[in-house]
Amino acid sequence: MATFLLVHGACHGGWCWEKVVPLLEARGHRACAPDLPGLGDDHTPPANVTLADNVERLSRLLDKMEDQVVLVGHSLGGVTISQLAEARRRKLKALVYLCALLPLSGKSGRDMTALDADAMFRLSRQVSPDGLTYTFGRDKIPSLFYADVSPEDRYRAIERLRPQPLAISTTPVTLSDDRFGSVPRWYIECTHDNAIAINLQRQMVKLTPCKVITMECGHSPFYSQPAELADHLEAVARA
C-alpha cells in the first residue's frame, strides 16, 4: 500500500483528481487531493496567497502522514512540490511531475514557461487589474486544458476554475542537491499537451533529469486517461 499526495495546478482544485483518487483507493492505496490556498473550496483570498503558504499547507498534511508519500504535482503544481521537497524530503518516497513545471533553483514558474516563447499557457493568461491573480481566456480553456476530455467533464471542470494567485508563478524556488535533489524524481510527459508543450516538458527534464513516463494525451490525463495515470502512479510507488 502506498500513500499519494496529489497537488493540482493553476486555477484548479483538488476536485480535478476525482477520477484518480477512487482508482488508487480501490487498489488499496491512500490518496489525498487537497485544495491549495485560495483555490477549490478554500476561501483564502487568492490575491494574498504566496508560495510559502502552499508549502506550509502541504507540510502540515505531510507531517500527519505516517508513511513516506509519493508527491504528485500537475502543471503549475510542479513549482509547489519542488519547494515542498526541499522542506520535507524525509517524508517523500518520490516526486512525480505530471506535465508540470520543473523549476531550477533560483528560477520561478514564469521563468520556466519563458523557455517556450509561444507557450499557449502564457499567451492565454489574463492578469487581474491589481496584478495579483490571473485567469485564462474562456475561449482558450477547452483546447488549452481539456482538448481530449469528454464534453461533460470539460464543462464541469471549467465551471469550477478560480483565479490563480500570481505569486506562485513569480516566486523563485530555492532548491539544494542534498534536500530536493535527494528525492527520486519522475516526469510523466503528455505528448499532446497544449498548455505546457512537449518540447518544453523535455527541455525542463534535460535541465533537471528525471525518470520519464510517456502518455499520449493532453494536459489533463486525470480526466482523459485516469486508469492509465493510476497505473503509472502505482508503478512509481512500487519502484
Residue 158: is it exposed, middle or buried by C-beta count within 10 angstroms (0-12/13-18/19+)?
Answer: middle
Q: Which residue among 219, 220, 224, 232 is the active-site one? A: 219
Instruction: Name which of 140, 13, 26, 19 is nearest 75 in CA terms.
Output: 13
Q: Which residue among 8, 75, 153, 220 is the active-site one? A: 75
| 219 tagged catalytic | yes
Q: Which residue among 35, 53, 153, 193 is the active-site one? A: 193
Residue 7's beta-bridge partner residues? 73
CA–CA distance, 49 with 176 (Å, rounded to integer):
24
Q: In CATH, what is the architecture of 3-238? A: 3-Layer(aba) Sandwich (3.40)
Residue type, 232: H
Per-residue pLDDT reduced to its tens digit, 164-212: 999 999 999 999 999 999 999 999 999 999 999 999 999 999 999 999 9
Give the residue extent of every domain in the chain: 3-238
Q: Is the pLDDT of residue 121 over 80?
A: no
Location of C-alpha cell 492509465: 228
Q: What's the pTM? A: 0.97
Q: Is the pLDDT of residue 55 over 80?
A: yes
pLDDT of residue 120: 74
| 150 tagged catalytic | no
